[in-house]
Amino acid sequence: MSALEKSMHLGRLPSRPPLPGSGGSQSGAKMRMGPGRKRDFSPVPWSQYFESMEDVEVENETGKDISFAKCGSEGPVLLLLHGGGHSALSWAVFTAAIISRVQCRIVALDLRSHGEDVGNVVEAMYGDLPPPIMLIGHSMGGAIAVHTASSNLVPSLLGLCMIDVVEGTAMDALNSMQNFLRGRPKTFKSLENAIEWSVKSGQIRNLESARVSMVGQVKQCEGITSPEGSKSIVEGIIEEEEEDEEGSESISKRKKEDDMETKKDHPYTWRIELAKTEKYWDGWFRGLSNLFLSCPIPKLLLLAGVDRLDKDLTIGQMQGKFQMQVLPQCGHAVHEDAPDKCVSWLLVTCCPPLLNIELCCKYVAPEATVMPLSPPPRPAWPCDTGSL
């Protein structure tokens, strides 16, 4: 079972009861708190991780603007694509980890159902001469990154990284995706409540990341006339309305009152209704392995578990066509749960080609520790001088 499938099934289970004598605290050094202390689930602003949040107008049929978060002003560009239902803020802690080690520019796109515009975004931002760019995508964003790279939509692309997405396990997980979405809470009482749920359900195992990431995943219910969270409340009323048309006006009034009460008690809901994107799921992941292998650039695959690689990926890995690393103690959101480990493997496997000799000397931060790109020269031997 893949990490994505485990995450979906675990998310539907009730919270684990506290262990005897544990006081309800979670295991792990980062989870231990002093007696009587509560964990802080308050939201954190994006400005603590990014320098700016901007919009770029993309030239397409709809003419929509795409938002993106930026950090850094020099060096190669790391173009970050979030997973389904997430936002650019899911890369906040990852951004802080890599900016502290490598001098580069971070551009985290906020893709709202129009991931096909990645190439147009690059053109709108940098014109005909874009800087060196590396694409990094998580889950659905990883699939979009592969499609973008294989279509040669970014001419200056120097590297590609997919995070926890494999064609075989992704296609298998799609069968249970709707059940997973139905098992999630439809509404939340507050941002703190949403953050707490994400951590305790295991959707995001890093509290620091959850406090900024969940802010981009939910929105206030104002303006929603029939939130999904109120369905269970009004189901019985709807059945009664069909049987008794004479009281339709009073029933309609009661429905509106129940809707308003739901909004008042649970004012936050999911920003993206993933269930409505089901018709696109197959196209995102089918054929992903061959597209990934066909990209003639350095490639890295980061996984949360030992996923079942299909025949093409297994052969490709044995042939050295891409690098793969498994981070077993992470959930599906690998870059949020273990940002430092992701950055380390990114630097070791993909950044040497990205940061070549000239770029490395120019862009690597002075305080960063970077592995040498080639072994030091050996001392001269007697056979080299002709003395033997």
SS (H, E, C) the chain: CCHHHHHHHHHCCCCCCCCCCCCCCCCCHHHCCCCCCCCCCCCCCHHHCCCEEEEEECCCCCCCEEEEEEECCCCCEEEEECCCCCCHHHHHHHHHHHHCCCCCEEEEEECCCCHHHHHHHHHHHHCCCCCCEEEEEECHHHHHHHHHHHCCCCCCEEEEEEECCCHHHHHHHHCCHHHHHHHCCCEECCHHHHHHHHHHCCCCCCHHHHHHHHHHCEEECCCCCCCHHHHHHHHHHHHHHHHCCCCHHHHHHHHHHHHHHHHHHCCEEECCCHHHHHHHHHHHHCCHHHHHHHCCCCEEEEECCCCCCCHHHHHHHHCCCCEEEECCCCCCCHHHHCHHHHHHHHHHHCHHHHCCHHHHHHHCCCCCCCCCCCCCCCCCCHHHHCCC
Based on the residue annotation, tell me whether 164 is a catalytic residue of this protein: yes
What is the CB neighbour count within 10 angstroms for residue 100?
Answer: 12
**pTM check: above 0.85:** no
Residue 98: per-residue pLDDT: 93
Contact 172/310 with Cβ under 8 angstroms? no
User: Rounded to whole angstroms, how far apart are CA atoms 385 and 388?
Assistant: 8
**pLDDT tens digits, residue range 102-111?**
889 999 998 8
How far, in Å, CA of 51 to CA of 99, rounded? Answer: 12
Range name among 246-250, 287-291, 363-367 with the lowest pLDDT average = 363-367
249 within a domain of the structure (yes/no): no
Buried b (16+ CB within 10 A) or exposed e, 184-200: ebbbbeebbbbbbbbbe
* pLDDT at 34 exceeding the cut of 70: no
Question: d(Cα 219, Cα 205) in Å, to the nearest integer?
Answer: 21
Closest CA to 156 of 359, 317, 346, 333: 359
> What is the per-residue pLDDT for 51?
93
**Percent of the chain residues past pLDDT 90, beyond the cut:** 36
Q: What is the structure's pLDDT at 175?
A: 79
User: Is the per-residue pLDDT at 321 higher than 50?
Assistant: yes
Cα–Cα distance between 301 and 307 in angstroms, integer?
11
- Which position among 82, 147, 266, 332 bears the catalytic label? 332
Banded pLDDT at 44 (limits 50, 70, 90): very high
Q: Is the confidence at residue 62, as pLDDT, over 60?
A: no
pLDDT reading at 1 higher than 60: no
How many Cβ atoms from other residues are within 10 Å of residue 341's Cβ? 17
Q: Which of 3-12, 130-139, 249-258 has the highest mean pLDDT?
A: 130-139
Residue 299, amino acid = K
pLDDT of residue 214: 95
pLDDT for residue 243 is more than 60: no
Per-residue pLDDT at 128 = 87
Residue with tokens 């539907």: 12
Q: What is the pLDDT of residue 249?
A: 57
Using pLDDT thresholds of 50, 70 and 90, give the confidence band for residue 356: very low
246-267 core/surface letters (b: 16 or more CB in 10 A; e: else): eeeeebeeebeeebeebbeebb
- Tell me if 40 is assigned to some domain: no
197 lies in some domain: no
Whether 375 shows a pLDDT value over 60: the answer reads no
Within a domain: 338:
yes
Q: How many domains does the chain have?
A: 1
Q: Is residue 262 a part of any domain in this protein?
A: no
Average pLDDT over residues 101-126: 82
Active-site option among 86, 110, 147, 164: 164
Please answer whether residues 106 and 49 qualify as being in contact, where contact means their C-beta atoms are separated by less than 8 angstroms: no
Is the model's pLDDT at 29 over the cut of 80? Answer: no
Question: Which of 139, 198, 201, 209 is labelled catalytic?
Answer: 139
User: Which of these ranges, 61-65, 106-110, 218-222, 274-278, has the smallest mean pLDDT?
Assistant: 61-65
Residue 199 lies in a domain: no
- Tell me, what's the pLDDT at 260? 52
The CATH number given to whatever domain includes residue 310 is: 3.40.50.1820
pLDDT in the model for residue 240: 35
CB-based burial label for 38 (10 Å; 0-12, 13-18, 19+): exposed
384 noted as active-site residue: no
> Looking at the predicted structure, is the pLDDT value of residue 234 above 60?
no
Partners of 219 in the β-ladder: 269
Span 271-285, pLDDT tens digits: 988 888 888 888 888
Q: What is the mean pLDDT of residues 110-133?
A: 82
pLDDT, greater one: 278 or 137: 137
Is 289 annotated as catalytic?
Answer: no
| pLDDT for 106 | 95
**Residue 324: other Cβ atoms inside 10 A:** 18
Domain of 78, in residue numbers: 46-172+279-363
**Residue 54 in domain:** yes
Q: Stretch 254-261: mean pLDDT, rounded? A: 54
Q: State residue 317's pLDDT score.
A: 87
With respect to residue 113, please indicate whether it lies within any of the assigned structural domains. Answer: yes
- pLDDT at position 28 is 38
Spatial separation of the C-alpha atoms in residues 44 and 49, rounded to whole Å: 10
pLDDT at 248: 53
Predicted confidence (pLDDT) at residue 194 exceeds the cutoff of 90: yes
Q: State yes or no: pLDDT of 138 exceeds 90.
A: yes
